[in-house]
Structure 1
Amino acid sequence: MPSFKDRLNNSTDCMTMNIATIPSAVVTQAMAAAGSDGVIIDMEHGAIDYGTAHAMIAATQGTECAPLVRLPEIDTALAKRVLDLGAEGLVFPLVRTPQDAERAVASMRYPPNGNRGFGPFIAHSRWQTALPEYPSKIEDQLVCCLLVETRDAVDNIDAICAVPGIDLLVPALFDLSTDLGHMGQFDHPEVVEALARVEAAANAAGIPLGNAALNGDQAKGLVARGYRVIAGFDVLWLKEKAAQTQSWVAG
């Protein structure tokens, strides 16, 4: 089975990449077993620590679900530690400049192509490879995803997309609309224009796009506009399902 990165780069597949904010290997395992193509373990906004992140990464074992981790910031030490837990990729927030994008890519690669320190003592078991072979066999399978969340990122989007090593670009509309001064107003002309700029730059550079959808119609709309990766949120699904269940017994 091709890796998640192979499918991004060498196919036109549309995939799911569900966001796990609940600190639970059980929840992650359930999403993986349900057929999710990938899961984003959220260490930026969720209540997830390193030990739980490792358990959640391990919970995808035996499935075709790729475990990625969203970091709280672009930081070489954070990136190294999470990759050494066995993550298949990283999601970097608040990328504002091409220099930020370069730092993100470099943190995922060993010298001479980056600055990741060597120590995949846990990761090599997750990948089922010998420790010395980990760099040559695994590095090129890791997924680098950047979030576009600020006015600066939109202004610099063409230069950001020109940085080699970016596998997926995600316009984060809640943050982006907030930074533009129109929180949650996704149909505001300035937000619409910013999103169009990001989409055009990504398409011109051949970088796949991802985004979140809260229902099937939203997902279909994104796919129709060329988005390849569709994300949902575990905690929002749980809350919605609990509310539906409550309605079953409401008078």
Structure 2
Amino acid sequence: MTLNMSFKSKLADPSRRLTAHMCAIPSAIIPQTMASAGSDAVVIDFEHGAIDMASAHAMIAATAGTACAPLVRVSRNDATQVKRVLDLGAEGVVFPMINTAEEAEMARNSLAYPPTGIRGFGPYIAHSRWGTRFVDYPETAEAGIVCCLLIETREAVENIREICTVPGIDALMIAPFDLSVDLHLPGQFTAPEFQEAVATVEAAANDAAIPLGSVAMDKAQADALLERGYRIIAGLDILWLKQMAAVSQSWVS
């Protein structure tokens, strides 16, 4: 039975509010648990986590049979790495450190087969993940592959209008920690310069009708983002775990 990729269509519906939680722990149990809890997507983290290709395959496979999209954050904007994670069965890719429209075009092109892109053919694992014949995988999968760009530098903010003109971008995610560091304001999320940078990205994404996401670790943070038009709320598995462990420790302190 063919399993339809659905996250791209959810992103295209402006009425939908979505979750996309980062998974840095190399265990299939994490995405399986998040998927069973109703998460719209998990983002398997190659950039900062301890995850290798074998772990990524198990984590992608753990979402099968659910409506949770397995995305992968690659460590760099590299077509070879993108090809490998898509061939493991990823439903899309989150690209870090996208600073220019040219880099956004490179990211988008790496997701598609010729003539529209540069992806090499070899979905030996992916075709089974999506329940289709090997030779039919491009027709089945390509239209559903998600392209999400991380905005996390001063340069990206300066070029955000041009980045948003690149066709085929399904979502933008502001990475607040990285952006604050690049602005020389580490963790200073209330600093005027940081807030101005975020507002610049928000305005550009809104004008281009590109869904925008960011991190929220509690309901108040999520509500504040949603009120400003964000459509994707992201969390991080390690920080969720540490936060709840600290709460439970307070019960006995």
TM-score past 0.5 threshold:
yes
**Alpha-carbon distance in structure 2 between the residues aligned to 1:63 and 1:83:** 18
1:84 aligns with 2:87: yes
Residue in structure 2 matched with residue 64 of structure 1 by the alignment: 67
Q: Quickly say closer, same or farther: Cα 1:69–1:2, change in 2 above 3 A.
A: closer
Alignment match of 1:73 (pick from 76, 83, 102): 76
Q: CA RMSD in A?
A: 1.1
**Alpha-carbon distance in structure 2 between the residues aligned to 1:190 and 1:249:** 41
Shift of residue 2 of structure 1? 7.4
1:12 aligns with 2:15: yes
Give the alignment of 1:39-118 within 5 angstroms.
39-118=42-121
**Alpha-carbon distance in structure 2 between the residues aligned to 1:191 and 1:5:** 30
Shift of residue 239 of structure 1? 1.2
What is the DSSP-based 3-state SS (H/G/I as helix, E as strand, rest coil) of the residue aligned with 1:241?
helix
Alignment match of 1:240 (pick from 229, 232, 243): 243
Letter in 2 for 1:84: D
Letter in 1 for 2:99: R
**Alpha-carbon distance in structure 2 between the residues aligned to 1:11 and 1:203:** 11
Shift of residue 11 of structure 1? 3.9
Residue in structure 1 matched with residue 200 of structure 2 by the alignment: 197
**Alpha-carbon distance in structure 2 between the residues aligned to 1:156 and 1:163:** 12
**1:80-117 CA distance string (max 9 Å, x none):** 00000000000000001100000000000000111000
What is the DSSP-based 3-state SS (H/G/I as helix, E as strand, rest coil) of the residue aligned with 1:164?
coil
Residue in structure 1 matched with residue 172 of structure 2 by the alignment: 169
**Alpha-carbon distance in structure 2 between the residues aligned to 1:2 and 1:99:** 27
Letter in 2 for 1:8: L
**1:52-85 CA distance string (max 9 Å, x none):** 0000000001111000000100000000000000
Letter in 1 for 2:249: Q
Q: Percent of pairs identical after alignment?
A: 59
What is the DSSP-based 3-state SS (H/G/I as helix, E as strand, rest coil) of the residue aligned with 2:16?
coil
Shift of residue 137 of structure 1? 1.5
**CA contact under 8 A between 2:96 and 2:151: conserved in structure 1?**
yes
Letter in 1 for 2:201: V
What is the DSSP-based 3-state SS (H/G/I as helix, E as strand, rest coil) of the residue aligned with 1:109?
coil
**Alpha-carbon distance in structure 1 between the residues aligned to 2:78 and 2:98:** 12
What is the DSSP-based 3-state SS (H/G/I as helix, E as strand, rest coil) of the residue aligned with 2:29?
helix
Query: Which range is displaced more, 27-36 or 235-244?
Result: 235-244
Shift of residue 206 of structure 1? 0.9
Residue in structure 2 matched with residue 135 of structure 1 by the alignment: 138
**CA contact under 8 A between 2:5 and 2:145: conserved in structure 1?**
no
Shift of residue 28 of structure 1? 1.3
What is the DSSP-based 3-state SS (H/G/I as helix, E as strand, rest coil) of the residue aligned with 1:79?
helix
What is the DSSP-based 3-state SS (H/G/I as helix, E as strand, rest coil) of the residue aligned with 1:226?
coil
**Alpha-carbon distance in structure 2 between the residues aligned to 1:220 and 1:244:** 21
TM-score of the superposed pair, with normalisation by structure 2: 0.96
What is the DSSP-based 3-state SS (H/G/I as helix, E as strand, rest coil) of the residue aligned with 1:146?
strand
Structure 1 residues not aligned, in runs of 5+: none
Kindly tell me the number of residue pairs found equivalent between the two proteins.
250
**Alpha-carbon distance in structure 2 between the residues aligned to 1:171 and 1:241:** 24
What is the DSSP-based 3-state SS (H/G/I as helix, E as strand, rest coil) of the residue aligned with 1:67?
strand
Structure 2 residues not aligned, in runs of 5+: none
What is the DSSP-based 3-state SS (H/G/I as helix, E as strand, rest coil) of the residue aligned with 1:87?
coil
